[in-house]
Amino acid sequence: MRALGLDVGARRIGVALGDLEHGIAMPHGVVERAGIAQDVLAVRKLASELDATVVVVGRPLELDGRVGHRARRVQAFADALAEDAGDDLSVEAWDERFSTHAAERTLLAADVSRSRRKRTVDALAAQHILQGWIDAQRRRQQP
């Protein structure tokens, strides 16, 4: 089963592609935000092109687990995506606290330039989100 991971930000949506069978997620790219309706269409198109049946949307909870304004904005996008997708595409939320921070640390450790980090951090954060979801799914499947 193929899955897309999304790190939904104010300007960009980081996208990762993963495969539950192989247990790995890879950064795929970014979608520039253009409004919820256009963003939903762009994600649906990507999911179709990549044969994904699940979209995992990172949910940016506050550090104490509360749902803040960012999480409500992302939830509005996830709800619109789920409504548009119907039965064709499953949309799931995943706690994404620290995903962008982890992605930035990875890029800093790899000595990636500041301009390149800006272009890749969103997709890497999406990979982190999706990998966490994949790992949890695989743990559930173990006897």
Tokens of 12: 């960009």
pLDDT in the model for residue 34:
95
End-to-end Cα distance, the chain = 20
Please name the amino acid found at residue 45. Answer: K
Mean pLDDT over each residue of the chain, to the nearest integer: 85
Please name the amino acid found at residue 79. Answer: D
User: Does residue 103 carry a pLDDT above 60?
Assistant: no
Query: Could you identify the residue written with the tokens 């173990």?
Result: 142
pLDDT in the model for residue 29:
94
> Mean pLDDT across the stretch 19-25?
91
17 closest CA partner among 7, 31, 2, 32 = 2
Rounded to an integer, what is the distance from CA 111 to the centroid of its chain? Answer: 24
Domains defined for the chain, CATH in brackets: 2-141 (3.30.420.140)
> Mean pLDDT across the stretch 10-15?
94
pLDDT in the model for residue 66:
81
pLDDT confidence band for 7 (50 / 70 / 90):
very high
Tokens of 4: 């897309």
Q: Return the percentage of the chain with pLDDT > 90, whole number.
A: 54
Distance in angstroms (rounded) separating the CA atoms of residues 132 and 56: 10
29 closest CA partner among 17, 44, 45, 47 = 17
Distance in angstroms (rounded) separating the CA atoms of residues 108 and 91: 31
pLDDT digits (tens, 9 = 90+) for 32-41: 999 999 999 9
pLDDT confidence band for 138 (50 / 70 / 90):
confident
Distance in angstroms (rounded) separating the CA atoms of residues 97 and 5: 14
More confident residue, 138 or 6: 6
130 closest CA partner among 52, 77, 40, 67 = 52
User: Does residue 49 carry a pLDDT above 90?
Assistant: yes
Distance in angstroms (rounded) separating the CA atoms of residues 63 and 85: 30
pLDDT digits (tens, 9 = 90+) for 110-133: 555 555 555 667 888 899 899 999
